[in-house]
Amino acid sequence: MEVDGSEAFPVFLRDASVGGAFLETPEALAFGARVTVIVSLPGLADARLPGIVRWNKPTGLGVQFDLLGARETHALTTLMRGNPR
């Protein structure tokens, strides 16, 4: 994940949907921070999903995705359905 264009650091993606995701991370980020989640999705290596931090917990944070392209939306939908093609 990248924060405001800074160097990327690893996070663990949980509960992903087309609208956003929960990211396990030891590092808290400010509400409203702009982030880019970089993830491999079915059919897309290194997909870049822009978003904004909407909430924090001690174990991670919630990101709301910005408008995604058709390929990213399709890949996330495929992942949620459990079909890795």
Q: Which of 42, 70, 82, 62 is nearest to 1 (CA)?
A: 62
Give tens-digit pLDDT for 32-69.
999 999 988 888 888 999 999 999 999 999 999 999 99
Hey, which CATH number is domain 2-81, 2.60.40.1180, 2.70.210.12, 2.40.10.220, 1.10.10.10?
2.40.10.220
- Strand, helix or coil for residue 54: strand
Q: Where are the domains of the chain?
A: 2-81
pTM, to two decimals = 0.85
pLDDT at 84: 54
